[in-house]
Each structure stands twice: as C-alpha cells, then as structure tokens.
Amino acid sequence: MLEEQIENAIQELRESKNTDLCEELIRTQGVQSPAFAQAAFEAGIFRPAVLYQDASPEVRDKLIDLLDQEDEEALGKLRANDCLVALAMIGDDTVAKYFQKWEDNPRPWRKSLYVGPLAYAKEGGWCIEDGQRKSLFFNECYALEKSENATPEDNLFGGTASEKCPYCNSSYVNMLVIDGSDERLSFLGINGKIKIKYCPGCLPWTESLFCRYTEDGESTVITHEGGEDYIVEDEDINDQTPIILSRKMVPKSYCEEFERCAIGGRPAYIDDADYTVCPECGKLMMHLAQLGEELSGCGTHYIQICRDCKLATVRYQQT
Ligand SMILES: [Zn+2]
Ligand SMILES: [Zn+2]
C-alpha cells in the first residue's frame, strides 16, 4: 500500500513536476526513501528541499561533483544555490567537509551568492562548531495541536504572566510550558518545567525576544531594545484554546511554514533559516518548537534554546 503511494507520488513528480504527494509522504508519514531525491534530481527539481533529506550517497556525490570543479561551465544551467540547499538538507559529514572546504577555498560560483556555503548549512538545520558538524534541531518530534477539551495538566499554553512589558504594557505571556519530565519530551534533556515567556506585542517589531529560564521555576524576559506601542489585551490571550502535545511521535520534518506545528523536529522557515546566536556563549541556539499562526495568534513563531546558558528566544517570521 505504502509502496504504491510512493510510486504514485514519484510518478506525479516525474510527469507533472508536482511534488505535493512526495512532500506529504515525507512530512506526515515519515517515509524515508532515497527515491524521492533521485527522481527530483533527474527531473531538475530542487524545491521543496526536504525531497533531498534521505538522498543516496550517489545523488549526494553528483551534487558535490557539480560544485567542486573549478570549471565555471560545470554547473550548466543548474544554479549553485539550488545544489547547496539540497546538499544542506542531506547534511552528513561528507557534505560538512565540502562546505568547509568551499568556504575556505571559494569556487567560481561563490560570486553569484550572497552568503557562503556554511550559511547554507543552516537551511538544513546544522552548523560547524569547533570543526564538528552539529545539528541545530532534535530528530524527535511531537505535534502541537489545539484542543478544546484539554485538561489543565495537558495544556501547554501558559496564558498571561503577572508582569507587564515596559515597552508596550501588554502582559507577558507564557507561550509554552514545557515539562521535561513528560516521557515524550525526555529527548529535550530538560529536568523539570520551563516556561517560554515573551511579549506578544513587541515580538513583530523585534528580531528576537529572550528569556532566562530556571527548570521548575519562573522565566524572566530579558529587556529588549525597542518595541512598539501596541497593546495585546489579556482577554485576547487568555481566551486562547488550549494547546496539547500529540500522543505519538511524528516525523522529524512534520512542520510546514504555516500550519503544522511541533516541539522538536526540523523547523520550516518562511524566509531564510534563522538561528540565533546565544548572547551568552556565542554558539547557535537549537530549534525547540514552531508555532504557526493558529497557535501563535500572529505570524509563525520559532522558539530556540541554549541549554548550557538556560536561555530561550522567540523569533518571528511572516509572509
Ligand atoms: Zn512589549
Ligand atoms: Zn548559550
């Protein structure tokens, strides 16, 4: 049955260049097949890049060969940008080695790009830190969903906090209360409950809002620069439908830009992949959760975390 679905999806991709069925199988059913990347590469299709997630070493090496030559003509009509995004999505140690090499010794195609290969790595959700490839997201993933009849214990939405934002006078909001002792979330390595607290009024006008958390304690929003005089009413926040975690794990690439939301897994950015540098240790923060407009109330929120420094940040993108 599934075999048949995969075949149909690939046929659809080949015949009408429609990738929807393939994407659906990868994101919601967790199908991991090198056949998607193979067919996409042969058809000259590079988006969505998630098609390349489980590419075979052969497809990976063909992409590497195209970029590794000094000959400007080698790429033909392919674009370096497309090949780099696909390779970033494959993102294994071999890719990491070449990205570092091309970063240090730029190839002719580098001139046509705004950023170097290592910036592309983030599109695949990884970076190179101290010479090693480091993943910026968790492979485990649980969906976040609205549920009218959630019990208070199951509700991850924390509602308004008691403090108000000094810039816009909106109440701070505990966007997510994450219980690290919940077996499903043990992969996070958090001992106890943490609150992701932020200002919903200021977020759209600031790049990142940070909070410092303690496990099983309160979070403190770190003063941010600026904001806007835009009050979000408490009622609008506290009327929100509870948010619950799915019972079962979902595939790591479950999220999409606007609707499907999750804790863990690979984020789906609306714009370029955007990972925050931790203001304390200077390392890139890890993706923790994604909330689309239905859960966030406004734009897509990306929550990132530095567990070493116990800091979380909320970032925001919209079309
Ligand atoms: Zn504010
Ligand atoms: Zn840090």
Which residues surround the ion ligand 1 when the cut-off is CB under 5 Å?
Answer: 165, 167-168, 199, 201-202, 227
User: What is the tens place of the pLDDT at every residue in 37-95?
Assistant: 999 999 999 999 999 999 999 999 999 999 998 887 878 777 999 999 999 999 999 99
Q: Which ligand is nearest to the CA of 306?
A: 2
- 255 alpha carbon to ligand 2 midpoint, in Å? 25
| Six token digits for residue 148 | 């009218």
Q: Report which secondary-structure segment, H or E, holds 208.
A: strand 208-213
Task: Tell me if 123 sits within 8 A of 273, measured CB to CB.
Answer: yes
**Using one digit for the tens of pLDDT, what is the confidence trace for 160-217?**
999 999 888 999 999 999 999 999 999 999 999 999 999 988 888 887 899 999 998 8
Give pTM, 2 decimals: 0.94
The CA 7 to ligand 2 mean position distance, Å, reads 45
Token pair belonging to 301:
């929120």
For residues 14 and 134, give the distance between their C-alpha atoms in angstroms, rounded to a whole number.
34
pLDDT tens digits, one per residue of 258-272 = 999 999 999 999 999
Write the DSSP string, 2-30.
HHHHHHHHHHHHHHH---HHHHHHHHHH-
Can you give the residue ranges of every domain in the chain? 2-135, 138-317
126 CA → ligand 2 middle, Å: 16
Kind and range of the H or E run holding 197: strand 193-198
Q: What is the pLDDT of residue 226?
A: 66
CA distance 214 to 310: 7
Q: What is the largest CA-CA distance in the chain?
A: 62
- Closest-lying ligand to the alpha carbon of 311? 2
Q: Which long-range contacts (CB under 8 A, 24 or more apart) does 6-9 make?
A: 6/31, 6/33, 6/35, 9/36
Q: Which ligand is nearest to the CA of 221?
A: 1
Q: Output the CA torsion sign for 121, 127, 131, 133.
A: negative
| Cα 68 to ligand 2 centroid, rounded to whole Å | 34
Q: Which ligand minimizes its atom distance to the CA of 212? A: 2
